[in-house]
Structure 1
Amino acid sequence: MSQTHSLVAVVPAAGVGSRMQADRPKQYLSIDNKTVLEHTVDKLLSHPEIKKVIVAVSEGDPFFPTLSLANHPDVIRVAGGLERADSVLSALNYLSEKQDFEWVLVHDAARPCVKLESINELIETATGHEVGAILASPVRDTMKRSTKDDHIDHTVERSNLWHALTPQMFKVNQLKRLLEEALFSGISITDEASAFEWKGMHPAIVNGEASNIKITQPEDLALAEFYLKREKETA
């Protein structure tokens, strides 16, 4: 990398993950005796330029205090909100008071398989871009648009079509301002980049690894375990 940066990561982790059909949110399910959240935060902190990780969890979360993360000197807990954007904004409000970091990487709690090489590329691209950047992977399958009653309406052209991944990296103050404006205006913000898109700005895309999966379904847990094990064996 051409330049060294001191960075902070934000992990929104207030979701309930109902699709996992488990007795706890997906970020607290275990892979190899560690929760998904612990794998994710440990991965972020293993990057030499990420100095702090802010985790946004629900106010009454009974699981987070039981983790070693709760007492980690480089992990900060803030109160999460009902939606992802609320949780990210809570972390950004904390950050803006400290004014220690110019850039922030926002990363899903349930993406423990992100590679450090991908984070390197993201940092280099984002810091050299006027808006910021996200990791994404190109769509490889044939895409169909359906009708409301689940019949095929038409095939969607897949060229220039991407799966948005995380981390997504932007300037702290700019992301904070745009999230505040979007929430105030009732705009649906599904990821951080969408706040910039709403204002007509165009973040860069960094081609990320397809292995950077988000655990959402029960079968994803085994796949994540496979990727983490393979990474450990090849390290």
Structure 2
Amino acid sequence: LAEHVVADSVLVPGVALVGGGPGDPDLITVRGRRLLAAADVVIADRLGPRDLLAELPPHVEVIDAAKIPYGRFMAQEAINQALIDHARAGKAVVRLKGGDPFVFGRGMEEAEALAAAGIPCTVVPGISSSISVPGAAGIPVTHRGVAHEFTVVSGHVAPDDPRSLVDWSALATLRGTLVLLMAVEKIGAIAAALIAHGRPADTPVAIVQEGTTAAQRRVDATLDTVGEVAKAEGVRPPAVIVIGAVVAVGPDQQP
């Protein structure tokens, strides 16, 4: 197996699962950038910092994970197999993922597949969009006297879907901040569920689309209006949705 050489001369064998951060190429970690610079093969997600790929030398093979031929494999199985195949071929492989590999990134599935194949795996944490995107839009997920906790939730499954693992009734009783990822499509249903279980309808909500990038925009609403506002404003993924009093905190939000 190939070894990645990082600046401190530590050799990292096998595959590196690198969290690329929320989108701005400057927000990848130093270690992640070093490993990316040493790669022979980069298998990249759509939500990773794709501007970094343009900086790679011509010999580096860049593979879009969304375009890997699946054949008899499911998408994730095909990605796992591609990581294994390239590592076994002696290539220095980086799996470039958006945000952090283990925050709704299926990074552990890839790490488990590599371990089962006997291939060493190095995990490089990344800056999660769950905190960095609100911050880039001027929203603190916690604030003294306002919110003492924040909860990060995947919103890709509707509250009434039998596949949902989220206790929305419990979330509705919390006083802190809710941060929803992958929730643009289901935000109307999610908001309705939270209101039905007791969250006040006038709770402030902010949607931050394409956070930390040049295309970033913020759309504000309340819990009872956010579904319609998101449609009217043409909000599209990727977006982070923040629910709670912290949305109204900050110099730009003062009356």
TM-score by length of 1: 0.31
TM-score by length of 2: 0.29
Higher relative contact order (CA 8 A, sep 6+): 1
